[in-house]
Structure 1
């Protein structure tokens, strides 16, 4: 019975010892918690806390800046696209400029070429001027000897108008006009040697510096509108032939002058009423249309190479037929 109280006391002591241990642990834990709280409290600084309105303002500014950043990024992308487009346009423009400069250079070269006289055109112009001088010489010489004769100078021919050579409706030369035709033949014989080829040609640069060459000296007959057309054609041809015969009979060497094709330069043609120089409504106009034309046709080279051939032919003729 005595052992039982002893056991009870020992049990109570053990329980008390266990309670003390738990209490110590609890106190120790609380002490640690207090230390931690004290540490965090020591780290707390009220001045470092951001007020909510200020925080929200900063947040709004951040969001606004983010929007602006996005806008600027889009703008940069747009500008880069525009830059690339501008660069491509500039490259195309540069290429076009190169093409235009090349074209301009070609046009300038063409202008320079056009400024230089075309050899063929210059030769033809010189030949036309030579013809004008020949016709003027013929007119002036004949006008001195026959002042009453109606003479008219055109671009290509010397015209003997009116009733100067033939009676109306006839093709026989008037006796007092035969001398006129003979003088015309003599003047042609003086001029033609410098502008033709053949055995009697006498080319000289003093009288023909442009190397002009006569293709044909054509005696042309013309009538007015009176009478039958065929009869007028025959009459005009007969008048031209009569004039031709009178000239070559008086100055036979006229038949010796040749053109570039070695054909006689002197020839005849009759046109009847087909080539009037005035209307046939008055007596005066009809008289103008009844005429003999001495037409001079100059040789026109096909190209510049033929110009050289013409010059060579004239020079060779001058050496073969020295004056």
Structure 2
């Protein structure tokens, strides 16, 4: 037991020594820590900061880092905007260049156009002046036209009389040609006479009608006696507005003798007068009533005239021309009043005939 107790005591001693050593070690370490803390506080790095300041710096660092990130994003956006702006500037610069070139070209064209405009303005002024002159001319012509449209009763009447004479002569010609188709008879250029070639009624150089030609003259007298009553006064007159709507009146129906220029003047005049007289007597003998047709002066309208070679209708240089000039003309001369009063006189005279029972 003693041994056991001894053993226990020994162990207790060892444990006590260990505890003492441990306590001494802990104490020593504590002292060393205090010293180290002292020396650390005396010998700390000048670059170290207090924790509060450190925390503040960390907060500042984080704030600046966020600002840096924001700046980087802003820089990236601005760089993108810059690139886009540079591209836009490039495009706009190209457009400015094109527009500048176009402007310069237009300046050149404008100079030419300005010159052309000046020329055109001068031409326009000239044309406007001409237009004004033409307007005046138009007004004058309109005035003249209006005046002419106001039909002069006398001119209108004379025109109607001329048409009536042409119609009468055409009817006579057609009637004679219907009876004698081979006869050479035509209307004069003025439509105022029937023209018979000399050899058509007379033998060459002879004033006398052959029996065959006398039949032509007799037929002509009968036709004339049928037409004249509507255009003349006298007992034989039979005026009707349907046969004479223009109220035309015959002044004279002249039997005119004409010759060519061969032979003496006296011979030709006597021959033309003899032929006219032969025709006159043949007509009055065949239709005695033809002398009862009177003009406004109550004179017989049938008469004679002789002109010899004075009134050729073509040249006497050829046989054909001379044959044409040897002729008898039956010329209708109409009453031509000088004013509307004369027209009224004619109308009243014809209407008085028409109203007879």
Q: What's the CA shift for 1:106?
A: 11
Where 1:163 maps in the other structure, the secondary structure is: helix
Instruction: Spell out structure 1 runs of 4+ moving beyond 4 A.
Output: 105-111
Matches of residues 159-170 of structure 1 in structure 2 within 5 Å? 159-170=195-206
Q: Tell me the distance in 2 between the aligned counterparts of 1:106 and 1:178.
A: 59
Matches of residues 1-323 of structure 1 in structure 2 within 5 Å? 112-154=146-188, 155-320=191-356, 322=357
TM-score (norm: length of structure 2) = 0.59
- Cα RMSD of the aligned pairs, angstroms, is 1.8
**Quick check: 1:150–1:162 contact (8 Å CA) kept in 2?**
no
Where 1:188 maps in the other structure, the secondary structure is: helix
Q: Tell me the distance in 2 between the aligned counterparts of 1:109 and 1:274.
A: 44
Q: What's the CA shift for 1:112?
A: 3.8
Higher RCO structure (Cα 8 Å, ≥6 apart):
1
Q: Tell me the distance in 2 between the aligned counterparts of 1:233 and 1:220.
A: 11
Q: What's the CA shift for 1:162?
A: 3.8
Q: Tell me the distance in 1 between the aligned counterparts of 2:231 and 2:272.
A: 28
Partner residue of 1:37? Answer: none
Q: What's the CA shift for 1:108?
A: 7.6
Offset from partner CA, 1:217-245 (integer Å, 9 cap, x none): 00000011111101100110010001000
Q: Tell me the distance in 1 between the aligned counterparts of 2:291 and 2:171.
A: 21
Offset from partner CA, 1:86-128 (integer Å, 9 cap, x none): xxxxxxxxxxxxxxxxxxx999887544312110000000000
Distance 1:276 1:189, change over 3 A: same
Offset from partner CA, 1:225-284 (integer Å, 9 cap, x none): 111101100110010001000000111111111111111110000100000111111111
Where 1:284 maps in the other structure, the secondary structure is: helix
Q: Tell me the distance in 1 between the aligned counterparts of 2:184 and 2:141.
A: 52
Offset from partner CA, 1:30-70 (integer Å, 9 cap, x none): xxxxxxxxxxxxxxxxxxxxxxxxxxxxxxxxxxxxxxxxx
Larger Rg: 2
Q: Tell me the distance in 2 between the aligned counterparts of 1:169 and 1:262.
A: 36
Q: Tell me the distance in 1 between the aligned counterparts of 2:205 and 2:258.
A: 11
Q: Tell me the distance in 2 between the aligned counterparts of 1:273 and 1:119.
A: 39
Structure 1 portions without partners, runs of 5+: 1-104
Q: What's the CA shift for 1:188?
A: 0.4
**Quick check: 1:219–1:240 contact (8 Å CA) kept in 2?**
yes
Q: Tell me the distance in 1 between the aligned counterparts of 2:284 and 2:170.
A: 22
Offset from partner CA, 1:199-227 (integer Å, 9 cap, x none): 11111111100100011100000011111
Q: Tell me the distance in 2 between the aligned counterparts of 1:107 and 1:148.
A: 51
